[in-house]
């Protein structure tokens, strides 16, 4: 069991982390990671986001579950839409090699996978429907 965070700011940018370790080392993806025993999905996604980016955020909504196969393992990733609780800049921590806010146009140059883009688009659309972003 794992969680993923689609974090959007008021301008419609999304937060990405560059993975520092396997699986997917060197690729740009969503912040997230494993759920610890006894931890709710919401608590796990907020914790993982803080560990990887230093940002505090609140969960707005669940975005469903994605199944990902990597390194011979199957991960059930419970995706969530989050918004930052303040204007603090992100910084890479834990297993992230880098972190940055990205526009939709940046996703191509950063070689974000189609699967991640699909989740991001679902999160951005939901954020717009709630009036959280332009």
Q: Where are the domains of the chain?
A: 2-129
DSSP state of 89: P
Specify the CATH class of 2-129 in words. alpha beta
The model's pLDDT over 17-62, given as tens digits with 9 standing for 90+, comes to: 998 887 778 899 999 999 999 999 999 999 999 999 999 999 999 9
Is the pTM higher than 0.95? The answer reads no
Residues 118, 75, 129, 88, CA torsion sign? negative
């Amino acid at each position: 069991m794992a969680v993923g965070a689609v974090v959007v700011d008021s301008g419609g940018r999304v937060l990405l982390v560059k993975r520092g370790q396997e699986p997917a080392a060197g690729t740009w993806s969503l912040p997230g990671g494993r759920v610890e025993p006894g931890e709710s999905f919401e608590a796990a996604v907020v914790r993982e986001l803080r560990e990887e980016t230093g940002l505090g955020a609140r969960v707005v909504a669940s975005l469903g579950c994605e199944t990902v196969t990597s390194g011979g393992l199957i991960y059930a990733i419970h995706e969530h839409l989050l918004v930052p609780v303040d204007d603090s800049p992100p910084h890479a921590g834990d297993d992230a090699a880098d972190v940055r806010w990205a526009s939709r146009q940046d996703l191509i140059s950063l070689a974000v996978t189609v699967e991640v883009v699909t989740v991001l688009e679902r999160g951005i659309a939901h954020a717009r429907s709630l009036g959280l972003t332009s």
